[in-house]
A and B are shown apart, each in its own frame.
Chain A
Amino acid sequence: MKNHVLRPLWVAIAFVALILLARYVLVPRDFGVQGESFTFNYHRAGNVQEWKDFPASYLGKEVCVECHDEKGTKLESSPHAIIQCENCHGPGKDHPETENPETMTIDRSRLLCLRCHADLHYSDANRADIPGIDPNEHNVDSECVECHDSHNPDLEDM
């Protein structure tokens, strides 16, 4: 073959080789089809472990009552027993380790109670089974916790 044909051919081959080299260097070793389907299982295998290692923030009531057993017992007989501690007290991650009560940001706001106790007048939704108030009429300027005990919400014990 003549030189003027060979020269661009070498350039083209070098170009392809360069791309293949770059691909070899840049694509992680564990990237590929990790299962049956090229369409759905084509990914970097290590990412699955990365998601497993994501830190969990919510511990669950069972962990809370290990120390706060008196609160747990008090709640047991109340209708609020179905609510997780962390729903109002915030996620408990790092709480026992740092032993710093300041890290728990307790939501004592009126809006928190209204999530369930604002009366929306829906007769067939489960919402109607929960005692509800009209937030625009019921002691508008006060926080609920000023009168109500969220751990024992029984109105007769007020």
Chain B
Amino acid sequence: MSCSRRTLLKNTIKGAIAASIPLSAFKFLSPAEVKAAIGDDKVRWGFLVDTTKCVGCGFCVKACKKENEIPYAAAVTRTWVERYVITKDDKTHADSPMGAKDGFTSPKIREEEINPDDIAKAFFVPKLCNQCETPACVQVCPVGATYQTQDGVVLIDRKWCIGCGYCIMACPYGVRFFHPKYKVADKCNFCYQRITKGMKTACVQACPFGARQMGNLKDKDDPVTQRIMNERVAVLKDEYGTKPQVFYIGLDHTVK
């Protein structure tokens, strides 16, 4: 076999070029994969809670539990309402009996009678998953069973969760719990089945007073996004650096 200098040089150059192209360059990506990789979704779900409008009826909690099939009598819930009564002696009395699934029907707080004349201020605070931008619960999952979708909602893969409970401990807001039926971690997912079909979440729809609202944070013309941008809003536990996407109007410093 003969090999001229010209052929040798040609083949060397061809070989060098071939070797420099990684195999991954030939991998075909589906349009969905490309879209996911670029992250060009036009939606980022955000939530606005106007605590000044809440009356503590608990219809949101009832609707949430029924919509998302959380056992109604069980002491776990994806959303709940807290009651704060601050008396004139600067003491904070707070409760949320069974997550307020049946509202607040008694002025007693943890069996304690409070004289109405001693009350300095009283208010209700609805709570739900903050769908953090940098969620601590997702970071600690050892198996990749919980994750953030492209539109910013943190979901749990019920088939993949091993029920170790790390995420339940990691969440600074205590929104995660162990689902009594499915034996996996569970939490509010902004009613993902509803918002992706253009419906309101069960709690937003059930609230008679407009204390709960949802919007697309990437759409600057969205009325809820406008309110979050223009009004004085606060987030819970900002110091944890989780960047919550649930914003509160009228949040008191006693609310933790």
Give the total of B residues in contact with A, Cβ under 8 Å: 58
B122–A82 CB distance below 8 A: no
A121–B197 Cα distance when bound, in Å, is 41
**Interface residue SS majority, chain B:** loop
**CB-CB < 8 A to B58: which residues of A?**
115
A34–B58 Cα distance when bound, in Å, is 37
A47–B104 CB distance below 8 A: no
A142–B53 Cα distance when bound, in Å, is 30
A54–B153 Cα distance when bound, in Å, is 15
- Give the interface size bracket for A toward B: 35 or more
A114–B39 CB distance below 8 A: no
**CB-CB < 8 A to A15: which residues of B?**
none
A91–B66 CB distance below 8 A: yes
Give 1 or 0 for each of A56-95: 1 = CB within 8 Å of chain B CB: 1110100000000000000000000011101100110000
User: Which residue of A36, A37, A43, A86 has the most chain B CB atoms within 10 A of its CB atom?
Assistant: A43
| Chain A residue nearest to B119 in the complex (CB) | A122
A115–B144 CB distance below 8 A: no
A135–B124 Cα distance when bound, in Å, is 20
Q: Among the listed A55, A58, A125, A127, which residue makes an inter-chain contact with B63, where contact means beta carbons less than 8 Å apart?
A: A58
A133–B85 Cα distance when bound, in Å, is 20
**CB-CB < 8 A to A58: which residues of B?**
63, 66-67, 202, 205-206
| Chain A residue nearest to B52 in the complex (CB) | A126
**CB-CB < 8 A to A135: which residues of B?**
105-106
B147–A34 CB distance below 8 A: yes
Q: Is A155 an interface residue (CB 8 A)?
A: no
Q: Among the listed A36, A54, A87, A120, which residue makes an inter-chain contact with B192, where contact means beta carbons less than 8 Å apart?
A: A54
Which residues of B120-140 have CB atoms within 8 Å of chain A's CB atoms? Answer: 121-124, 134-135, 138-139
B104–A56 CB distance below 8 A: no
B206–A84 CB distance below 8 A: yes
Give 1 or 0 for each of A28-61: 1 = CB within 8 Å of chain B CB: 0001001111011111110110111111111010
* A contact set with B: CB distance below 8 Å: 31, 34-37, 39-45, 47-48, 50-58, 60, 82-84, 86-87, 90-91, 111, 114-116, 118-127, 130, 135
* B contact set with A: CB distance below 8 Å: 36-37, 39, 52-59, 62-63, 66-68, 85, 102-107, 116, 119, 121-124, 134-135, 138-139, 144-150, 155, 157, 159-160, 189, 191-194, 196-197, 199-200, 202, 205-206, 208-209
